[in-house]
């Protein structure tokens, strides 16, 4: 690949040296969770070995150092998203928790019964179910913006959803975990704002592949998860505009999120701490900080160029496999490729690929309504990361031809 | 290539998965239930007609899923023919052991039709594919409309 040396990138991922069933690991499941570079691993291990204590409370050296290391992750996340203020970064467990936080806190305090929340027809379950729960508990309406057959958001239909003035919030993916389609986030936000609605973007996939600038997008909320961005599990980020976060009530009570507590009344800590009850994922925060710095050092220009080249290569090679159908043909797309084979069910494909050392995902990808929209039960999905090579895609395409022969 | 998957994808499984003999909805049935594996999206429905003595006279199924789940359903139909509900439940318990471990101590002769699936225990993520139709069958016998292999 032209932009950077993928061999040296791969050398930084210890797991990529592993054999699976005696074969070189071909890991094409990064959209589910990415592998971890040495930098993130060492940061976590190093913290445990040299400076670790609980944070935000200890009046001792270890606690102070650990607090600094953990809070550096907030700076890193703010930098990554180009947030205006580090206090706009709330740490959560994952994107799912970030969305639930907004649904529970903003949804119940600012949205009024009868107002509508707009999602799209290509959401992950994590950006569907919280809004259904809000609907059922709070009396909001749930509207679904349709997609085209190519797997792009139908912008005319999207805009039409605002006609009655009831939409209070839009919650839409920035990149589909099934189709690889990017959504036109800037236009989504512009249209919503023109109708007085706020916007949450689910960046779980997008933030891995391209530079996200929440201020340029004018996003009101943006969520992503650490483990897809080459960081650890258990840590995710909710970005929210300061004024919105300030006005929102906390959603979980406990230590760390209070200003003072009496039996009669408690008062809340300032943003973002009022949303961070209890001891947080300290080590995971430290690992995320290292992962973000590692991604920044490579740079999104290089990452995006590498993945664009890979995706183009994959679409060409996979399209040439007899009987293979690529699901989703969006113009603006990234390195997530869902497909079906005429002779084999997705699970059988995945099992056979696994025997060849190739890891893909198969199933409904936590997007059942999207599957129904596509008229499918399941697909197989190959997804690419910073360490994926064109040769691995060749191995996938060649092996898929053999899978099809196996089921003749 | 793929010679090492022939333990699971053997001739019987491939034949039954691709050309199931009993994949049909029964026009006249006494009980029916659906089975759903929410993790992978596999779905199956089973219809059962009882004989006068309450043994299973006929079973039909419809399945949307992989070769393993369809083959398991097709073989199951033959395995439970003529059995009582009690026998069928005992067979399911034995089949679960077979699917999870590759063997079962007191695998009755009656379970012989399911033996082609014994290797599924080498594929932990696929065990639920093999047991899904049984979950649906037991749910039907118990008068429940739905089941899950989760």
In this complex, do B42 and A347 lie within 8 Å of one another by their Cβ atoms?
Answer: yes
Looking at the structure, tell me whether residues A82 and A165 fall in a common domain.
Answer: yes
Q: What is the pLDDT of residues A2-56, one digit of tens each?
A: 457 999 999 999 999 999 889 999 999 999 999 999 999 999 999 999 999 999 8
Domain count, chain B: 1
Q: Could you tell me which residues come within 8 angstroms of residue A92 by beta carbon, excluding any fewer than 6 positions away?
A: A98, A101, A223, A235, A236, A237, A238, A275
Q: Provide the residue count of chain A.
A: 408
State residue A3's pLDDT score.
53
B104 Cβ partners below 8 Å, 6+ apart?
A: B94, B95, B97, B98, B111
In this structure, what CATH number is given to the domain that contains residue A13?
Answer: 3.90.1150.10
3-class DSSP assignment, residue A323: coil
Closest CA in chain B for residue A363: B40
How far apart CA A158 and CA A146 sit, in angstroms, is 7
Alpha helices for A112-154 (secondary structure H): 129-138
pLDDT at position A308 is 95
Given an 8 Å threshold on Cβ–Cβ distance, is B129 in contact with A347?
yes
| Residue A256 confidence (pLDDT) | 83
On whether both A279 and A380 belong to a single domain, the answer is: no
A240-287: per-residue pLDDT in tens? 999 999 999 999 988 888 888 999 999 998 999 999 999 999 999 999
Tell me which residue range forms the domain holding A335.
6-30+299-403
Listed residues A275, A297, A319: the one ending a domain: A297
Question: Which residues in B lie closer than 8 A to residue A407 (C-beta atoms)?
Answer: 14, 18, 67
User: What is the predicted pLDDT for the residue at A59?
Assistant: 86
Give every residue of chain A whose pLDDT is below 50, as ranges.
Answer: 1-2
Q: Are residues A11 and A107 in the same domain?
A: no
A381, β-bridge pairs: A338, A361
- Residue A37 resides in a domain: no
- Band of the pLDDT at B41, cuts 50, 70, 90? confident
| Predicted pLDDT at A392 | 97
Chain A residues touching residue B45 (CB < 8 angstroms): none
Q: Which pLDDT score, from 0 to 100, does residue A2 have? A: 45
Q: DSSP string of A269-306?
A: PPTTGGG--SS--HHHHHHHHHHHHHHHHH-HHHHHHH
| Selection from A42-51, B40-49, B137-146 with the highest mean pLDDT | A42-51
| pLDDT tens per residue, range B83-110 | 999 999 999 999 999 999 988 877 777 7
Exposed/middle/buried for A345, CB within 10 Å: 0-12, 13-18, 19+?
A: buried
- Whether omega before A337 lies within 30 degrees of 0, making that bond cis, reads no
If you count residue pairs, one on A and one on B, with CB atoms under 8 Å apart, how many are there?
55
Kindly state whether B65 is in contact with chain A, defined as any CB-CB distance less than 8 angstroms: yes
Query: Beta partners for A142?
Result: A117
Q: Is 90 exceeded by the pLDDT of residue B35?
A: yes
Of A294-298, A385-389, B42-46, B146-150, the one with minimum mean pLDDT is B146-150
CATH number at residue B126: 3.90.1010.10
Question: Under a CB-based contact definition with an 8 Å cutoff, are residues A223 and A200 in contact?
Answer: yes
CATH number at A195 reads 3.40.640.10
What integer pLDDT is reported at residue A57 of this predicted model? 78
């Amino acid at each position: 690949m032209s932009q950077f040396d993928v061999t040296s990138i791969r050398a930084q991922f210890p797991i990529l040296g592993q054999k699976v069933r005696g074969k070189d690991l071909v890991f094409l499941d990064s959209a589910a969770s990415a592998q971890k570079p040495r930098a993130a691993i060492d940061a976590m291990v190093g913290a445990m070995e040299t400076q670790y204590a609980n944070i935000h409370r200890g009046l001792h050296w270890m606690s102070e150092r650990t607090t600094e290391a953990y809070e550096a992750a907030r700076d890193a996340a703010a930098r990554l998203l180009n947030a205006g203020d580090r206090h706009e970064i709330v740490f959560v467990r994952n994107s799912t928790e970030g969305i639930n936080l907004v649904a529970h806190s903003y949804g119940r305090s600012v949205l009024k019964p009868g107002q509508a929340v707009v999602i799209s027809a290509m959401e992950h379950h994590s950006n569907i179910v919280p809004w259904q729960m809000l609907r059922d508990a709070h009396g909001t309406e749930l509207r679904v913006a349709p997609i085209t057959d190519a797997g792009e958001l139908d912008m005319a239909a999207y805009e039409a959803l605002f006609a009655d003035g009831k939409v209070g919030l839009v919650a839409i993916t920035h990149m589909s975990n099934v189709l690889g389609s990017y959504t036109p986030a800037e236009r989504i936000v512009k249209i919503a704002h023109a109708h007085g609605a706020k916007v949450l973007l689910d960046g779980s996939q997008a933030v891995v592949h391209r530079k996200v600038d929440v201020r340029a997008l004018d996003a009101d909320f943006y969520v992503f998860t650490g483990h897809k961005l080459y960081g650890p599990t258990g840590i995710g980020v909710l970005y929210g505009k300061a004024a919105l976060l300030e006005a929102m009530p906390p959603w979980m009570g406990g230590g760390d999120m209070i200003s003072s507590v009496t039996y009669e009344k408690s008062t809340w800590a300032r943003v973002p701490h009022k949303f961070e009850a209890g001891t947080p994922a300290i080590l995971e925060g430290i690992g995320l900080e290292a992962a973000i710095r590692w991604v920044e050092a490579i740079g999104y220009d290089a990452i995006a160029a590498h993945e664009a080249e890979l995706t183009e290569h994959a679409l060409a090679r996979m399209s040439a496999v007899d009987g293979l159908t690529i699901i989703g043909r969006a113009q603006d797309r990234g390195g997530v490729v869902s497909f079906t084979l005429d002779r084999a069910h997705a699970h059988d494909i995945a099992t056979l690929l696994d025997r060849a050392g190739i890891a893909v995902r198969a199933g409904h990808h936590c997007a059942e309504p999207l599957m129904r929209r596509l008229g499918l039960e399941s697909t197989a999905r190959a997804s690419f990361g910073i360490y994926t090579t064109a040769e691995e895609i060749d191995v996938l395409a060649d092996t898929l031809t053999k899978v099809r022969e196996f089921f003749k | 290539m793929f010679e090492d998957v022939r333990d699971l994808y053997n001739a019987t499984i491939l034949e039954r998965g691709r050309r199931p003999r009993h994949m049909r909805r029964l026009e006249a049935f006494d009980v029916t239930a659906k089975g759903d594996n929410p993790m992978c999206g596999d779905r199956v429905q089973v219809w059962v007609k009882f004989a006068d003595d309450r043994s299973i006279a006929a079973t039909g199924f419809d399945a949307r899923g992989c070769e393993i789940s369809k083959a398991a359903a097709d073989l199951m139909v033959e395995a439970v023919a003529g059995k009582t509900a009690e026998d069928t439940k005992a067979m399911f318990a034995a089949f679960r052991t077979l699917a999870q471990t590759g063997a079962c101590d007191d695998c009755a002769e009656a379970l012989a039709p399911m033996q082609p699936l014994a290797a599924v225990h080498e594929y932990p993520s696929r065990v639920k594919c093999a047991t899904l139709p049984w979950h649906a069958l037991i749910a039907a016998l118990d008068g429940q409309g739905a089941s899950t292999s989760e």
